[in-house]
Amino acid sequence: MRRSSLLASVCLLALGLGGGFLAAGAIPAVAADPANDKAAADEVVAKVNGTAISLSDISLADEEMGQALARLPEEVHFQYLLGMLIDRRIIALEAKAKKMDDDPMVKRRAAYYDEKALRDVYWVQMMRDKVSEKAVKAYYDEHIAKAEPELEVHARHILVASRDEAQKAIAAIKGGQKFEDVAKSMSKDSSSQEGGDLGWFKKGDMVPEFADAAFKLKAGQVSDPVQTKFGWHVIKVVETRRAKKPTFEEAHDDIMRGIAREQGTKVMEDLRKKAKIEIVGAEGQRPQVAPKPAQ
- pLDDT per position as a tens digit, 163-220: 999 999 999 999 999 999 999 999 999 999 999 999 999 999 999 999 999 999 999 9
Per-residue pLDDT at 5 exceeds 70: no
The span from the CA of 90 to the CA of 102, in Å, is 19
All residues at 6 or more sequence positions from 57 whose CB lies less than 8 Å from its CB, including other chains? 85
Helix (H, G, I), strand (E, B) or coil at 183: helix
Greatest mean pLDDT among 36-40, 58-62, 231-235, 283-287 lies in: 231-235
Torsion angles phi and psi, residue 261, rounded to 5: -65, -45
Angle between helices 248-274 and 3-14 (to 10 degrees): 40
H or E element, residue 227 = strand 226-228
Could you tell me which residue, 263 or 3, shows the higher pLDDT? 263
Where does the pLDDT of residue 21 fall: very low under 50, low under 70, confident under 90, or very high at 90 and above?
very low
Whole-prediction pTM value?
0.57
Per-residue pLDDT at 227 exceeds 80: yes
Per-residue pLDDT at 41 exceeds 90: no
